[in-house]
């Protein structure tokens, strides 16, 4: 049997809101092998960050539903108490670079110390040793080692992004979640960060979950792609299967909306708006916007159908075709 470093089964996460429960993550399942990279793509508000926070078990205080299995390195962390989670798993086995993290560095503390802090505070490592570790990490993420003595305002956006990636690696995690790590950067810096991630993946055998709304970026880095819509994964499969030939109507529209070099072909867009997650459409969440919908789509939630090559598609068009 192949070993997985992360297995997620039937993950659900809902928030209490004034209008009722908002189901941001609904029946999400996937797995990740050591060294593998999964890209999660989808429109704004489809539940990408919520999924990431759920995997870290860092859910907000207005959480009303939080169920499913999250098996990290063979242990279901949903059943683990907070003290154990902090001691053994969070940041140590599974770590995350939050969306917009580079803008939340503490402005009055030197960046090297911010990287070293968890070692000093949680692991009682002497300050000098911890700063040496910060230097090693700076080298790993492509920053000059003497930059540990700089303050955040003395760094460019790309450098700050490297610092927050160094922070996420300080306790040697096996799994790294990156939530929109390059969205605020220009394309040249973005390319450098992407190359750095490829190097890190190789040298540390890191498993990466790469969250982005930029499918071209995901295709550059990821072995597998999950396309999310309205809190659900609509299609999941090998990048070389999903990207050239998406099967789910939403995945197909989303991928069809990527511009290509000077083409006469009109770019796809999807009429209508993303679903209201407090009152989602009955049946398939995409049915009101789907050009292929038929009666069943409005009545029942489609299950996941497994097609050739192991690709998973949540769409009744594939009923009986697996
Ligand atoms: N603490 C919260 N309380 C209530 N609703 C929330 C909370 N956090 C997120 N949401 C809602 O959950 C849904 C999913 O949000 P999430 O941030 O996971 O989306 P996303 O895919 O990461 O979007 P983006 O691409 O804009 O970052 C949205 O409708 C959002 O408004
Ligand atoms: Mg987000």
Spatial separation of the C-alpha atoms in residues 181 and 98, rounded to whole Å: 8
Which ligand has its closest atom nearest to the C-alpha of 232? 1
Q: Which of 11, 14, 15 to mutate to test the pocket of ligand 1 (most atoms within 8 A of CB)?
A: 15
Residue 60 CB: number of other CB atoms within 10 A?
Answer: 10
Pocket of ligand 1 (CB under 6 A): 15, 17, 22, 24, 44-50, 60, 62, 99, 213, 277
Which residues are close to ligand 2, an ion, with C-beta < 5 A?
A: 48-49, 99
Provide the pLDDT for residue 160.
95
Provide the pLDDT for residue 185.
84
At residue 57, the 3 state secondary structure works out as coil
Which ligand has its closest atom nearest to the C-alpha of 278? 1
The number of the ligand 1 atom at minimal distance from the alpha carbon of 43 is 25
CA distances from 148 to 109, 111, 171, 211, 274 (A): 10, 6, 17, 28, 43
Q: What is the pLDDT of residues 172-199, one digit of tens each?
A: 999 999 999 988 888 888 999 999 999 9
Q: What domains, with CATH codes, occur in the chain? A: 6-93+173-318 (3.40.50.300), 102-172 (no CATH)
Please give the sequence-ordered ranges of beta strands (E in DSSP) within 160-241, or none if there are none. Answer: 175-179, 207-212, 224-229, 232-238
Q: Which of 25, 42, 48 to mutate to test the pocket of ligand 1 (most atoms within 8 A of CB)?
A: 48
Confidence grade of residue 210 (pLDDT, cut at 50, 70, 90): very high
Q: How far is the CA of 43 from the centre of ligand 1 (A)?
A: 11
pLDDT at 259 over 80: no
Confidence grade of residue 258 (pLDDT, cut at 50, 70, 90): confident
At residue 117, the 3 state secondary structure works out as helix
pLDDT at 202 over 60: yes
Q: Which of 13, 45, 280 to mutate to test the pocket of ligand 1 (most atoms within 8 A of CB)?
A: 45
Spatial separation of the C-alpha atoms in residues 42 and 212, rounded to whole Å: 8
Spatial separation of the C-alpha atoms in residues 205 and 97, rounded to whole Å: 18
User: Cα angle vertex 211, ends 236, 138, to 5°?
Assistant: 135
The number of the ligand 1 atom at minimal distance from the alpha carbon of 60 is 1
CA distances from 79 to 27, 29, 54, 226 (A): 18, 17, 13, 26
Do residues 94 and 55 make contact, with C-beta atoms less than 8 angstroms apart? Answer: yes
Confidence grade of residue 2 (pLDDT, cut at 50, 70, 90): low
More confident residue, 39 or 103: 39
Whether the CA torsion 94, 99, 102, 106 is positive or negative: it is negative
pTM across the whole model: 0.95
pLDDT at 268 over 80: no
Q: Would you say how long the chain is, in residues? A: 322
Spatial separation of the C-alpha atoms in residues 273 and 289, rounded to whole Å: 8
List residues bridging with 138 in a β-sheet.
none
List residues bridging with 38 in a β-sheet.
209, 224
Q: What is the pLDDT of residues 11-48, one digit of tens each?
A: 999 999 999 999 999 999 999 999 999 999 999 999 99
Which ligand has its closest atom nearest to the C-alpha of 24? 1
Please give the sequence-ordered ranges of beta strands (E in DSSP) within the chain, or none if there are none. Answer: 6-17, 20-32, 37-41, 63-72, 75-76, 94-97, 175-179, 207-212, 224-229, 232-238, 305-306, 312-313
DSSP tag of 46: S
Residue (of 148, 152, 141, 318) closest to 237 by Cα position: 318
Q: How far is the CA of 142 from the centre of ligand 2 (A)?
A: 26
List residues bridging with 69 in a β-sheet.
9
């Amino acid at each position: 049997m192949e070993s997985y470093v992360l297995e997620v089964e039937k993950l659900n996460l809902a928030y209490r809101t004034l209008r009722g429960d908002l189901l941001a993550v609904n029946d999400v399942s996937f797995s990740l092998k050591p060294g593998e990279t999964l890209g999660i793509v989808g429109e704004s508000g489809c539940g990408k960050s919520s999924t990431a926070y759920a995997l870290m078990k860092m859910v907000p205080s207005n959480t009303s539903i939080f169920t499913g299995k999250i098996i990290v390195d063979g242990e279901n962390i949903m059943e683990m108490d907070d003290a154990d989670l902090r001691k053994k798993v969070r940041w140590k086995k599974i770590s995350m670079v939050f969306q917009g993290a580079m803008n939340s560095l503490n402005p009055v503390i030197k960046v090297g110390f911010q990287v070293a802090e968890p070692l000093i505070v949680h692991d009682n490592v002497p300050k000098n040793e911890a700063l040496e570790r910060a230097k090693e990490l700076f080298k790993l993420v492509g920053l000059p080692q003497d930059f540990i003595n700089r303050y955040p305002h003395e760094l460019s956006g790309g450098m700050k992004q490297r610092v927050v990636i160094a922070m996420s690696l300080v306790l040697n995690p096996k799994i790294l979640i990156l939530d929109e790590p390059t969205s605020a950067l220009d394309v040249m810096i973005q390319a450098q960060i992407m190359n750095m991630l490829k190097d890190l993946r190789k040298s540390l055998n890191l498993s990466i979950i790469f969250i982005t709304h930029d499918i071209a970026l995901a295709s550059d880095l990821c072995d597998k792609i999950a396309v999310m819509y309205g809190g659900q994964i609509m299609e999941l499969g090998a990048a070389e299967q999903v990207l050239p030939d998406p099967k789910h109507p939403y995945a197909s529209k989303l991928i069809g909306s990527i511009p290509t070099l000077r083409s006469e072909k009109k770019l796809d867009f999807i009429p209508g708006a993303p679903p209201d997650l407090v009152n989602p459409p009955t049946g398939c969440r995409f049915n009101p916007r789907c050009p292929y919908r038929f009666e069943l789509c409005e009545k029942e939630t489609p299950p996941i159908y497994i097609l050739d090559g192991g690709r998973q598609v949540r769409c009744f068009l594939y009923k009986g075709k697996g």
